[in-house]
Amino acid sequence: MRTNVFSLSILCTFILSGCGSGSAEQPAPHPGPITAGEHTRVDTQYGTVEGYLDDDVYTFKGIRYAQAERFMPPQAPDKFEGVRMCKLYGPKAPQMNSLVWRDDTQRDYSFGNQFNIEAMSEEDCLVLNVWTKGLNDGKKRPVFFWIHGGGFNDGSAIDLDCYEGRALADKGDIVTVSINHRLNVLGYMDLSFLGGKYAQSVNLGMQDIVKALEWVRDNIEKFGGDPNQVTIAGQSGGAGKVTTLQAMPSAKGLFQRGIIQSGSFRRITSGEYGQQLGRTFLEELGVKPAQAESKLGTFTYKELRDAGNRAIAKMKAAPGERGGFCPFLDGTVITEQPYDPETATLSRNVPIMIGSNFNEFFFDISPQKTEEEVLTTLTERMGAEKARQFMEEFRKVYPDKAPKDMLYVDTRVRNNTLRIADAKSGMGEKVYVYHFQWIPENNVLGASHGMELPFMFNNVARQREMTGSSESAYRLADIVSDYWISFIKTGDPNTKGRPVWEPYTPDGGASMVLDNTCGTKRSHDKVLVGLAQ
């Protein structure tokens, strides 16, 4: 059973409301029945699974796509006989920071972040969920493959209710897939330097995701999907995983498009750092390399996690490269930098949609400020001359914004977004850039990190603490989900009846601004973003 929790945790989500013209009403409850039985069964490569039919969307939860021993690469799951019930979400990976009840002064902030508390399992977390409108019907629907956020440490396929894939599958007649995979010390500790049994023990969380994509390739046709029309997508840490997959030989050909939301991950930590982190980790455990095979299985998850944290802290205290639990450029599993300085050769001819939000990690929680107060703060950040230039440019770009918004506009994530777009489009490849600026009424969080999630999933009703229930919120969700569905189907977000979304080029700099009035702006904030770097 999952329980909602107020939390101001981790890289994931917040609030919202509206875009476009016309009117929109809250959707009526689904009128159809929920049924199950032989008509909701699918014969996968590994055995028969039974889901349920929710009105006209077949739903499968907790399908095992792989299995793995601790610190070992994932393997195909065991085949089974009989029928396996897949009607409940499976466990998530053990987490660095379990979500807990918070009672602090930032109650509005906490209220906007209602994560779910879920079961965790080291052994059984390699599971996925599927939503589709047809089974074994010969119709090849495009596949939307969602990778959750939470950095490389936390999160799950349903830690936010808006991640449920039913609404997109229903509206777009696509197949929605979401996954859990290994995280933190169990997913991103490099032990490959040990050789032998551990020779491939690196980037295990990313290897898990590739294994899930292989499951899609081998099984999704029976769920009405097309294995040759797969869009990988993710937000925050999930977006970082999307970019990392584009630099992995084992993932090549398993997807055809990518969506990168507020997680512009251009550069991967070096393999040298990863191996040194692994050595330091063993030292913190008190395990000699020759003892690894016999001893690593004897520690609890908490002991492993704590030793990993100590190893990271020790390396951060020393001069040299900084890192943590993250992908490493090991040269075998990951062989290129995704977007630094150019697009990885492995991701050529893969169209991408990429964007960020107006506030991201700056939260609009302060009272109004005078321009003098704003200038003082900006001067502390960037010096007097740049501060004045920044304020002047901000007024040109955002003439309707209040002075305090100068303090809360994101430039870091936006800068990386534009650099990836420049690298990709500069090679003649298709890129579509968005800037999510919509702010919910009567809410203090602004267009913060994750604010776009209920809109692109068309799930405003499931995340009303974030979005509110205004007409403008439902109208914006209708438009944004249309753009996402069109890109999933064609590699181009443009769709009939919606404002034209121009492709990005280094010269044109087109971004689709998602707000109460959606439309393309060209290089509207490039100078502003540059001033803040």
Residues 6+ apart with CB under 8 A from 370: 403
CA distance 134 to 33: 16
The C-alpha atoms of residue 53 and residue 51 are separated, in whole angstroms, by 7
Alpha-carbon separation of residue 64 from 68, 149, 211, 242, 313 (angstroms): 11, 20, 11, 21, 35
Q: Burial, 82: exposed, middle or buried (Cβ in 10 Å; 0-12, 13-18, 19+)?
A: exposed
Q: For strand 352-357 and strand 328-329, is the pairing parallel, antiparallel, or unpaired? A: unpaired
Length of the chain (residues): 533
Q: Which residues pair with 34 in a beta bridge?
A: 54
How crowded is residue 48: how many other Cβ atoms within 10 Å of its Cβ?
A: 15
Terminal alpha carbon distance of the chain: 45
CA distance 33 to 512: 39
236 assigned to active site? yes
Q: Do the Cβ atoms of 204 and 69 come closer than 8 Å?
A: no
Alpha carbons 532 and 381: distance in angstroms, whole number: 9
Q: Look at residue 191 and give its three-state secondary structure.
A: coil
Q: Please state whether the peptide bond connecting residue 73 to the residue before it is cis, i.e. omega within 30 degrees of 0.
A: no
> In 3D, which of 529, 341, 344, 525 has the Cα closest to residue 429?
344
Q: Encoding tokens for residue 500? A: 């034209």
Read off φ and ψ for residue 353, nearest 5 degrees: -110, 130
Select which of 178, 201, 236, 472 is catalytic.
236
Residue with tokens 């070096």: 270
Token pair belonging to 58: 């077949």
Which residue matches tokens 């994750």?
A: 450
Active site residues: 236
